[in-house]
Amino acid sequence: MTRQQILTWTQRNGLFFALVLLIAIFSFASSRFLTVPNMTVILLQNAVIGLIVVPGAMLILCGLVDLSVGSIAVLAAVVFGQAMDSGFGLPVSMLLGLGVGMLWGAFNGYLIAILGFSPIIITLGGLAGARGLAEFITQGFTTYGYGPQFALLGNGKLLGVPVPIILFLIVLAIGLHLWYRAPLGRHMIAIGGAKDTAAELGIPVKLVPFWLYVASGLASALGGLIVASQLDGAAVTIGTGMELEVLTAILLGGVSFTGGRGSLFGVFFGLLFVGVLSNGLIQINVSPYVEQVAIGAALCGAAALDMLYQRLERLQVPVEREPNEPVAQGTGGSQ
Amino acid sequence: MGTKASRAVTRRDLLKMSAAGVAVAGVASMGLPVVAQERKRIALAHPDRAADYFQGFMNAALAEAEKRGYDVLQSFSGMDPQKQLAEVNTWLAQGFDALIVLALDANAMAPVVAKVHEQNALFISYANRIEGEDGFIKWADRDAGALLGAYTAKHIKEKLGGGGAEVGFLTATNIQVVTDRIESTREAILAELPDTKFFEATALNAPDALKATQSLLQAHPAMKIVICCTDDGALGARSAYQNSGLGPDNVLIAGFDGAKQNLELVKARDPYLQVSMALDIGDIGRRVIDIPYQLWNGGPESETHVLQEYKLVSHETAEADIDTILSVYS
Amino acid sequence: MNTAEAKPAVLELRGLSKSFGPVHAVKSVSLSIYPGEVIGLVGDNGAGKSTLTRMMAGTIRPDTGDIVVAGEKQTFESAQDARRAGVETVFQTLALVPGLDIVENIFLGRELLASGPLGAVTRTMDVAAMRRRVQEGYERFGLGLPDIRTKVAGLSGGQRQVVAIARAVLWGSRIVVLDEPTAALGVKQTELVLSFIEQLRSHNVAVVFISHNMQHVMRVADRVCVLRLGRKVFDGQMSALTGTDLVALMTGAATAVEQVAAAG
């Protein structure tokens, strides 16, 4: 194998094997780790982040980002809670919660995808703004106690599988289909990697990101409602730090932050990696500091691999394909 | 109740107080009506706006400020020590007459005291204490931990058959108030039951506490006790127990703060969430404004150096007493 | 190629003019292009080549004059209009996405969906059909390209140029406009592109070949059109000219009348 092949292989599969290694270590350290109940708990703990990660990864593939996810989640939960308190009833209250998330997503999408504002600035504004609005709405008084029907969303089970996991798997399946089997996947790579070309070829370079922001807002709102259901209360702390958890899973999964390259399978493994790490470290009763350090190290490793991979791809491939080619010719010949 | 339990602590900065008094007198004697009538600005660095008790706290503080004719600068920095420091520095640049701060990081806040004094303003700390402060309202976190530890030990002895019990702590390692609460609880339990096993995870709020407790319960299904550094976290731990498939038998979940939902659950004798270490939020809110007033007007030390005790609210607490504490939320 | 000229013109430019403010970039240029013919479009800098190219590509609209494709008058509002009418322009930027492979690039923006409700409802692509069609194209045109699933990022400049041209042809365009396809390419890469262009002639595709390089034009063009200061100064068979003649026409050292007389 050439150095380039090794790197390509590592970049594609490294995370998967790191995950397997991690699971092996924890299984060795704790007999209760590798059990069906604990694996279910790990999936359950990451189902909400997972829901939001799917549209989030698509946005990053397009070269965009949504930092407002956690704040949209809490805003949706709070709006739901207030609606329940005001006697709107469960279906209407849930629709209001989800609607406010979609609306905020559409607002993000309009400003960023249609008008061309900076995604970081607009969604950073949303990060502060949506949470501030949620705090303003509650005035410090958390609503709680929504009854057994709503509790099914976060705590119910279908054929023994917790509802949040089922919702996550549905969203993941839709995401995988769009990413790999529908034209959208290629279009997102084109938008993120060569936007002008994509536009020239008639790809809707504004509408695709717009709808992704709407999807991200909707997924965040759904996540917020699930957590509110699990806690049976619209705590103002819902979604705190969620944007970073979402970004960590996506970037660990090898989606390039500049857009145009990445795999949703990788993102899924990134999500599991973080979930397994925090669950496992609690299981073996290791200092909470270690979790942060381990995730940080894994992210740096992923970033380094990504950079090496990109450089090798640029430098070596053309030369390798045509060994007789004079060095100064072709696009890849010179540094 | 906290008010009655408050007691004076000897330590006072008479010099600063008299300096402030001279300044006030000086301005008054110069007879400049505009300056003399200017309302005093009190910067109130209370970080956790998301806490359930926040509104009760802020209502009491604003009512007191209205009574004294002070303007209040409110904090929006959140639970990040760095941001809190940045916010305080912004206030310093704008100027104020007194700073009341719940320091998330006491060491980082220490140098601020000198800067505040340079501006002839007062530095008042609450929750914990900072060297050089002019006045304080200290939460008796370690006393509360001792109380809760003793209560937990009793629970272990009576319900869980004594030794070898498993106790989970949900805490955060970088906030001193929180570490004081948890460490003192641990010490008090160990003092009575040295063979108790402790498991620790990071969680300050309900969603994180839910996940952490889920993980803890997978590893230690026999764990019956979870002590959370905040009441919000206790709610998350309760959700985890409720949906774990494990019964509520002899479970004890405890938290700190005296938040509304937690107090109501204890009052309703919830089988999981049985304890909240409650602060008298209304009294704290009133005092953060009253302490600068007392300092400017030569009040007694008992009103400027205050140790605020927690009250252990449990299933043994009478409903009427819980209602008294809850009244701050209405 | 007299045999080609017997057929009706596949693309006709009739009296195209374009001004940018006081600058008359193209002045009343007419040109007929026939199937199976490679026509070289040459001229010095500022002669109006790129303006004429962009009018054919649909990215700018002529002030006056008509573009007629296969006997039908067309108004191009955008590059998509031109493409839809069957005129495909390959600019130097190539419009390829490096992160996608050859098949994905060739079908980018017009992916084939699975037949029936599967494609219509779920937007599932027919990946196998797309690969098959590209593979067929490889065989039909004898493309010397790497495997169809190679990422464009891994291709050389000449290979990328061939992919961009092949995309136009595979999509059934009968008229391909190539804007400086050999600029910035090495000897071997140039050869790859030129031999592919020669292949196209036998598949009845009309090629407009825009280039600075006289040798390349003389190598592949059947006919040549020379622009100078926005006007067409020569339009005739390549075989009648030498390189020196071409340069003389481009620089204005000779006029078309003299050339034709000399050639005649």
Segment A120-130 shows an average pLDDT of 94
Chain A residue numbers touching B204 (CB-CB < 8 A): 237
* Three-state secondary structure call for residue B129: coil
Q: What is the pLDDT of residue C259?
A: 56
Residue position matching structure tokens 């054919």: C56
For each of the domains in chain B, give its residue range(s) and CATH number, in order of start: 41-136+281-306 (3.40.50.2300), 141-280+312-329 (3.40.50.2300)
Of A41, A155, A289, the CB nearest to B215: A41
A311 → chain C, closest CA residue: C153
- Which of A231-235, A282-286, B2-6: highest mean pLDDT? A231-235
CB pairs under 8 A between A and B: 99
Q: What is the pTM of this model?
A: 0.82
User: Cβ of C124 and A181 within 8 Å?
Assistant: yes
Interface probe, candidates C54, C77, C94, C97, chain A, greatest A C-beta count within 10 A: C97
Tell me if chain C has a CB within 8 Å of the CB of A325.
yes
A313 → chain C, closest CA residue: C154
Residue C194 phi/psi, 5° resolution?
-65, -40
Q: What is the pLDDT of residue B121?
A: 92
CB pairs under 8 A between A and C: 99
In B24-165, which ranges are E strands? 40-45, 70-74, 98-101, 122-127, 135-139
pLDDT in tens, C153-181: 888 888 999 999 988 888 877 899 999 88
CB-side neighbour CA atoms (13 Å) of A310:
17
* Three-state secondary structure call for residue A159: coil
Residue among A56, A44, A43 at smallest CA distance from A123: A56
Burial class (CB in 10 A: 0-12, 13-18, 19+), C149: exposed
Interface probe, candidates B197, B211, B265, chain A, greatest A C-beta count within 10 A: B211
User: Cβ of A283 and B219 within 8 Å?
Assistant: yes
Radius of gyration of chain B (CA): 21
All structural domains of chain A with their residue ranges: 16-316
pLDDT in tens, A150-179: 999 999 999 989 999 999 999 999 999 999
Q: At B84, which helix (H) or strand (E)?
A: helix B81-94
Q: At C73, which helix (H) or strand (E)?
A: strand C72-74
* Long-range residue pairs from C117-122, CB within 8 A, at least 24 positions apart, any chain: C122/A177, C122/A182
What is the average pLDDT value for chain C, to the nearest integer?
86
What separation, in Å, do the N-terminal and C-terminal C-alpha atoms of chain B show? 18
User: Cβ of B207 and A231 within 8 Å?
Assistant: yes
Chain C residue numbers touching A186 (CB-CB < 8 A): 100, 104, 108, 111
Of the pLDDT bands very low, low, confident and very high (cuts 50, 70, 90), residue A299 is confident
The dihedral over CA atoms of A146, A147, A149, A153, expressed in degrees to the nearest 10, equals 50
d(CA C218, CA B96): 84
User: Cβ of A194 and C189 within 8 Å?
Assistant: no
Neighbours of chain A (3+ CB pairs under 8 A): B, C
Q: Do chains B and C touch (3 or more CB pairs under 8 A)?
A: no
> Tokens for A176?
């995988």
Of A30, A45, A239, the CB nearest to B211: A45
* 188-217 of C, contacting A, C-beta below 8 A: 188-189
Residue type for position A130: A
d(CA C96, CA C74): 27
Cα-based angle B293, B297, B302 (whole degrees, multiple of 5): 75
Which residues have a Cβ under 8 Å from the Cβ of C181 and sit 6 or more positions away?
C90, C92, C161, C165, C193, C197, C209, C211
d(CA A304, CA A306): 5
* Three-state secondary structure call for residue B74: strand
Tell me if chain C has a CB within 8 Å of the CB of A314.
yes
- Strands B225-228 and B252-257, sheet pairing: parallel
User: Cβ of C185 and A330 within 8 Å?
Assistant: yes
Tell me if chain A has a CB within 8 Å of the CB of C144.
no
Radius of gyration of chain C (CA): 19
CA distances from A257 to A65, A66, A80, A187, A251 (A): 9, 12, 33, 17, 7
Residue among A236, A200, A232, A291 at smallest CA distance from A78: A236
Of the pLDDT bands very low, low, confident and very high (cuts 50, 70, 90), residue B116 is very high
Of the pLDDT bands very low, low, confident and very high (cuts 50, 70, 90), residue C79 is confident
* Inter-residue contact B177 to B200 (CB < 8 Å): no
Segment B230-254 shows an average pLDDT of 92
B58 → chain A, closest CA residue: A140
Sign, Cα dihedral of A276, A279, A282, A287? positive
Chain A residue numbers touching B51 (CB-CB < 8 A): 140
In B21-78, which ranges are E strands? 40-45, 70-74
Q: What is the pLDDT of residue A140?
A: 67
* Inter-residue contact C151 to A314 (CB < 8 Å): no
Residue A2 clears pLDDT 80, i.e. is over it? no
A137 → chain B, closest CA residue: B50
Which residues have a Cβ under 8 Å from the Cβ of A16 and sit 6 or more positions away?
A269
**Buried-state track C210-224, b at ≥16 Cβ within 10 A, e below 16:** bbeebebbbbbbbbb
* Inter-residue contact B116 to B133 (CB < 8 Å): no
d(CA C163, CA C192): 11
Residue B37 clears pLDDT 90, i.e. is over it? no
* 152-181 of A, contacting C, C-beta below 8 A: 177-178, 181
Tell me if chain C has a CB within 8 Å of the CB of A125.
no
Residue among B251, B233, B227, B230 at smallest CA distance from B241: B251
* Inter-residue contact C159 to C181 (CB < 8 Å): no
Q: What is the pLDDT of residue A326?
A: 40
Interface probe, candidates A12, A188, A201, A306, chain C, greatest C C-beta count within 10 A: A201
Chain A residue numbers touching C145 (CB-CB < 8 A): none
- Of B77-81, B153-157, B184-188, C27-31, the poorest mean pLDDT is in B77-81
Q: Do chains B and A touch (3 or more CB pairs under 8 A)?
A: yes
Neighbours of chain C (3+ CB pairs under 8 A): A
User: Cβ of C157 and A317 within 8 Å?
Assistant: no
What is the average pLDDT value for chain B, to the nearest integer?
85
User: Cβ of A197 and C93 within 8 Å?
Assistant: yes
Q: What is the pLDDT of residue C124?
A: 93
* Three-state secondary structure call for residue B48: coil
Residue A328 clears pLDDT 50, i.e. is over it? no
* Inter-residue contact B261 to B52 (CB < 8 Å): yes
Tell me if chain A has a CB within 8 Å of the CB of C81.
no
Residue position matching structure tokens 């939902």: B261
Residue B48 clears pLDDT 80, i.e. is over it? no
Chain B residue numbers touching A230 (CB-CB < 8 A): 207, 210, 239, 243
> Tokens for B148?
């809760």
* 173-192 of C, contacting A, C-beta below 8 A: 185-189
Which residues have a Cβ under 8 Å from the Cβ of A151 and sit 6 or more positions away?
A229, A232
Of the pLDDT bands very low, low, confident and very high (cuts 50, 70, 90), residue A330 is very low
Tell me if chain C has a CB within 8 Å of the CB of A193.
yes
User: Cβ of B214 and A32 within 8 Å?
Assistant: no
* Three-state secondary structure call for residue B317: coil
- Starting at the edge strand found earlier in the chain, the sheet holding B273-278 runs B197-202, B166-171, B225-228, B252-257, B273-278, B311-313
B218 → chain A, closest CA residue: A38
Q: How far is CA A231 from the centre of its chain?
A: 22
Interface probe, candidates A2, A11, A178, A197, chain C, greatest C C-beta count within 10 A: A197
Q: CATH fold of A16-316, please?
A: ABC transporter involved in vitamin B12 uptake, BtuC (1.10.3470)
Of A41, A232, A289, the CB nearest to B214: A41
What is the percent of chain C with per-residue pLDDT over 90, rounded to a whole number?
A: 31
* Inter-residue contact B181 to B141 (CB < 8 Å): yes
Radius of gyration of chain A (CA): 22
* 83-142 of B, contacting A, C-beta below 8 A: none
CA distances from C106 to A113, A184, C167, C173, C258 (A): 26, 15, 5, 13, 46
* Long-range residue pairs from C135-141, CB within 8 A, at least 24 positions apart, any chain: C137/C106, C137/C166, C137/C169, C137/C170, C140/C203, C141/C166, C141/C169, C141/C196, C141/C199, C141/C200, C141/C203
Chain A residue numbers touching B329 (CB-CB < 8 A): 141
Give the distance from residue A69's alpha carbon to the nearest chain C alpha carbon, in angstroms: 27
Of the pLDDT bands very low, low, confident and very high (cuts 50, 70, 90), residue C243 is confident
Helix axes A264-283 and A3-29, enclosed angle (nearest 10): 30
User: Cβ of A235 and B205 within 8 Å?
Assistant: yes
pLDDT in tens, B146-171: 999 999 999 999 999 887 899 999 99
- Print the SS3 string covering B174-238: CCHHHHHHHHHHHHHHHHHCCCCEEEEEECCCHHHHHHHHHHHHHHCCCCCEEEECCHHHHHHHH
Give the distance from residue A226's alpha carbon to the nearest chain C alpha carbon, in angstroms: 27
d(CA C63, CA C141): 38
